[in-house]
Every structure is written in structure tokens, then in C-alpha cells.
Chains A and B, each alone.
Chain A
Amino acid sequence: QQQVKQSPQSLIVQKGGISIINCAYENTAFDYFPWYQQFPGKGPALLIAIRPDVSEKKEGRFTISFNKSAKQFSLHIMDSQPGDSATYFCAAPTLYKGAGSYQLTFGKGTKLSVIP
């Protein structure tokens, strides 16, 4: 069964610094790697995702980098702010019994704390 290994488990970053979270996958149905952000007391929400044939996706201060040969992808948060303090989950798509559909396998999450 597909596993997605996410590191680190927790991360403390000074305000204005760069937060980096890494994920590695074993297999994937196709190259689509979303990241979810979860604030305390809330459900995870889609933050940013990268699609096939793209090695980097940037949205504001958030960037996904993808290394297909290494089967790794990472989330970079530039100029980290206290409001970014949350738990982040990476995910990779796994084929559903070869039926042409898929579901996401999630990493275990990274708790990010940005201190002033």
C-alpha cells in the first residue's frame, strides 16, 4: 500500500524565516501532489497543489517543489508569519483498484509554529 513519509513532525521557525516540509512517496497514480493546511479546531483545507509536467508551483509565499526522479516533493513557506502556524499535510494520489479513479494518501502531518 502506498505510503507517504512526511518530515519533520514538528517545526519551529522565527517570524520572517523559511519553513520547509518534505514528503517522499513510493508510487503515485499520476503527478498531482496537494498540500493541506489545518488550523486548530478546523478541518484540513487545500492550500496549494502541483500538477504533471511542472517541477515548481508558487502561490504567494507558498511554493511546492517536485523531484520526480527522487520521488520527493516539498513545501516552502517564505517570510513565515505567526498566522502560518498550523498543521500541514502532504498527499499523493493512489489508484483505486485500477479502476481509473484514485484517492489521496496523506503524510502524518507537520505541526508548524512560527514565533514572533
Chain B
Amino acid sequence: EAQVTQNPRYLITVTGKKLTVTCSQNMNHEYMSWYRQDPGLGLRQIYYSMNVEVTDKGDVPEGYKVSRKEKRNFPLILESPSPNQTSLYFCASRQTGTFHGYTFGSGTRLTVV
């Protein structure tokens, strides 16, 4: 089944403890992106990647890092999480070419205490 897989689905952590949220897609998509979703703010883009080793900042990149060493994986790294990073996170990917929508993962609910 074609899908974007995120892990973990739920995570509670403490301030300052480094964590990684994984994202993997099995559709050979070149484009991948991370979003955070907060009430009233919609989907805000954190980072995106147009291809392997090509990443760029989105609208809210502060406090996050990403890497794209392989086409299928695009992990999101929080080196020193803070409570304001408590949010619902989504990974998405897209096929190359025009007129293609995004496929989203099921989301990761992160709570930083």
C-alpha cells in the first residue's frame, strides 16, 4: 500500500531531551515536507526537501532540523525541545511533475513538558 509512515504516533517528552520523529514513504517521491498543526493556525511548514540532500526552511523552522540522506526517509529532529513545540506534526510527500497532490502521514502528537 502506498503510504507515508510516521513514528511515533504519540510522544511525551521533557524539555531539552533530544528526539527524532521518523518519516518514510514507499512511493519513490522526490518531494517531502514537514508541517505542524496548531488550533487556529492551520498547517505551517517547518522544512521541506525537493530531493536527496536538498532541504530548505519553511515558515517555522526555528528549533528543528531535518536531513534527507535517502529518498524514502525524512526525519525531523528536535535537538532541545521546548513546550512551545507541543503540537501535531505531519509529514507529506509528492510525486514529481505537475498536478500531483500531497500524501500525508497519520501524524505525530508531541507533548513537551
Contact = CB atoms under 8 A, between A and B. Distances in A.
A9 interface: yes
A43 B107 contact: yes
Contacts of A41: 107
Contacts of A49: 99, 101
Contacts of B102: 36, 44, 46, 104
A57 interface: no
A43 B88 CA distance: 10
* Best-buried of B98, B103, B105 by chain A (most CB within 10 Å): B98
Contacts of A109: 42-43
Given A43-B106, A43-B107, A101-B50, A108 B101 contact: no
Interface in B32-65: 33, 40-43, 48, 50
Contacts, number: 55
- Assign chain A's interface to a size class: 20 to 34
Nearest to B104: A43
A103 B104 contact: no
B31 interface: yes
Given A46-B103, A104-B94, 17 more contacts: A6-B42, A43-B105, A44-B90, A45-B104, A51-B99, A91-B101, A93-B98, A99-B50, A101-B96, A102-B98, A103-B33, A103-B94, A104-B101, A104-B102, A107-B42, A109-B42, A109-B43
Interface of A: 6, 9, 30, 32, 34, 36, 41-46, 49, 51, 89, 91, 93, 96, 99, 101-104, 106-109
19 contacts: A9-B40, A30-B98, A32-B98, A36-B101, A36-B104, A41-B107, A42-B106, A43-B4, A43-B106, A43-B107, A44-B102, A46-B101, A51-B99, A89-B42, A96-B50, A103-B33, A104-B94, A108-B41, A108-B42
Interface of B: 4, 31, 33, 40-43, 48, 50, 90, 92, 94, 96, 98-99, 101-107
